[in-house]
Structure formats: C-alpha cells, structure tokens
Structure 1
Amino acid sequence: MRKGQAAAPAKPQHTLFGLSTRRAVILGGVIFVLALTLAVPMHTYLTQRAEADRLASEQRDLERELDELQRQKEQIEDPAWIEAQARERLGLVRPGETPYKVQLPGDYKPPEEDAPPPPPSTGAWHSDLWQRLAGPPPSTEPERGTLPENPAVPAPAPEEPGVPTG
C-alpha cells in the first residue's frame, strides 16, 4: 500500500440475526434436525396418551355396566321381586286369594293381527317388489252372496251310437 492511498474497503459481510449467512444456515439445519428428532417421540407420546384416555373411559363404562348387572342379579335373586313379577306379568295369585282384573274404558287395546305371510319369491327382485306394491292377487273364488261371472255349464252327455236324439 502506498502512502497516500486509503485502504481498500473490506467486503461487506451478509448477516442474518447477527450471524454470517453461512453460520445462520448451519444453525437452521441443526434446529431442523433437532425438530425432526423430537417430532417422532412426541407423536408417539400423544398417540399413546389418547389411547390411554380412551381405554380409561371404556373401563369406567364397563364398570358401570358391571354394577348395573350385579344390581339386577341381586334383584332377580330376591324372592319378593320374583313374586311381584309373577303377579304383574303372569297374573298369578297365591292359593286362597281371589284375583280381580280392573279394566278401565280407555285401556282396551284390540289384539294385534298377524300379518299375512309374504307371497312366494319369483326369483327376480323387481318382480317381488312389484308384487308387494300391487298387493295380493285377486281371489278366484266369488264372494259370498254374489253369483259367479261365468257360471259353469255342464258338458253335454256323449251320444250313444244307434240311439236317436231328439
């Protein structure tokens, strides 16, 4: 360098958060690797925690159901409960008692009629559906008190050879 010349200005360094660019990239890479290293165990921990909570809830439900079933078992083993159920459901009475059944006017329920059996299947689903929608086929027997539309005409007696008709 010569005496009258100023020193050449130094190249400006690029910085990121007070670090050189190279150091900032290395630091970012290290943070990324640490994040990946911690992500898998964290995911496993959270999954196992949710499964443990679900199993604890299921166990509480099963314990409640077990308590209810034990209560029902004790109730069924009670002779007084059995007698009450026999009186209520079956209408049984003890020897010497007179049974009464009170029927109030609004309590009558007509007996339920059994549904007719479904028609036999023809094999094709659309035919079966059409039969169900159309209803039962019309009856071939005439209703009581009506005459049949085409009364049966008796067939003529066969003619005997040599006998004149007429």
Structure 2
Amino acid sequence: MPADRDRFSTATRLKALGEHAAARVYRARVKRRRGRLTGRAALLALVVCSLVVALAYPMRQYISQRSDIADQRGEAQQARDDVKKLREQKARLRDPAYTERQARERLHFLMPGETGYSVADGRGATERSSHRSAADSPWYSNLWDAVDTADAAKAHSARR
C-alpha cells in the first residue's frame, strides 16, 4: 500500500481528505509566502529609504543652485537693461539740442543776447515754497531754501 500512496498526486490526496484539510494546507502555503514577501518588502523599504537619505542633500543643493542661477540671470538681465538705458542717455547727451534744452529747462540758462526775467509774485518765501514743488522751482532757489531752512532750525534750537 505505501506504493499506491506515492502514485497519487497531492491534489488527488487533498480531494480525498476533504475541503477542510485542503483549506488548511493552502493557508499554510499562503502564510509562508506572506512571510517571505514581508522580508522582501522590508528590504526594499530599507533600500528606498537609504536612497532617499543619500539623495536628499544633493537634491537640496541642486535646487538651491538652480534658484541661484535664476537669480543671477535676472540680475544680468537687469544690468543689460540698465546698460541699454545708459547708452540711450549717452546718445541723447551727445546731441547739442538736447543739452541746450535741458540747460534752459532745469538750470534756467540763457543764450548770449537773451534777456531773462524773474517775476516776484509778492508772497513770502514760505508761501512760495509751499505752493511750488522742488521740481518746479530752479535749482538755486531750492538750494537757497534749504540754507534758509537749516539756518532757521539752528536759530530755533539755539533759543532753547
């Protein structure tokens, strides 16, 4: 009889034992597999964590350097724009008509033979400076107003 037992396959023997015995056998097989997969999963998780830890600092440096590069490119573009504006201004300043117009408007210069007039409106210096902005008045007036204001502040602090 022992020879007959060896002739039958495992599936045939399980059918003979019944469904309950087959379920026990398959559960035992599944548990063994689950145990092997858990070890593999732990090893895989360990490898992934090691890679994350090993690559975290270089990735941080890479991102930081990319940010620095973007900032430097922005500064370079700003510098190019500034150079372009300065070249345009240099070209304008080479034009004698532009220089003459600026001297007349900003500095109130006159050409030889021209007569300039200053009209006094009868108001005091404080009223005049309160109604006009510094850009509207000539540069020498702004300078003189600043000297008067500083002198008045000094005289006021000396009285105390």
What is the TM-score of this pair, normalised by structure 2?
Answer: 0.54
1:38 deviates by: 2.7
Q: Distance in 2 between matches of 1:22 and 1:92?
A: 92
Matches within 5 A, 1:1-16: 10=28, 12-13=31-32, 15=34
2:59 aligned residue = 42
1:52 aligned residue = 69
What is the TM-score of this pair, normalised by structure 1?
Answer: 0.53
Q: 1:83 and 1:24, CA in 2 relative to 1: closer, same or farther beyond 3 A? A: same
Q: 1:95 and 1:20, CA in 2 relative to 1: closer, same or farther beyond 3 A? A: closer
1:92 aligned residue = 109
SS in structure 2 at match of 1:34: helix
1:83 is aligned to 2:120: no
1:21 aligned residue = 38
Structure 1 counterpart of 2:64, one-letter code: T
Q: Distance in 2 between matches of 1:80 and 1:54?
A: 40
1:103 deviates by: 7.4
1:164 aligned residue = none
Tell me the number of residue pairs that the alignment of Structure 1 and Structure 2 aligns: 117
1:127 aligned residue = none
Q: Distance in 2 between matches of 1:119 and 1:93?
A: 41
Higher relative contact order (CA 8 A, sep 6+): 2
Q: 1:23 and 1:92, CA in 2 relative to 1: closer, same or farther beyond 3 A? A: closer
1:129 aligned residue = none
Q: Once superposed, what is the RMSD of the aligned Cα atoms?
A: 3.8
More deviation in 77-86 or 93-102? 93-102
Alignment partner of 1:109 out of 106, 111, 128: 128
Structure 1 counterpart of 2:34, one-letter code: T
SS in structure 1 at match of 2:128: coil
Q: Distance in 2 between matches of 1:88 and 1:34?
A: 70
Q: Distance in 1 between matches of 2:106 and 2:37?
A: 90
2:80 aligned residue = 63
**Structure 1, unpaired ranges of 5+:** 1-5, 121-135, 138-166
List per-residue Cα deviations over 1:10-68 (Å, max 9, x = no partner). 5843727xx53222211211111122233233222211111111100111111111111
Q: Distance in 2 between matches of 1:43 and 1:89?
A: 54
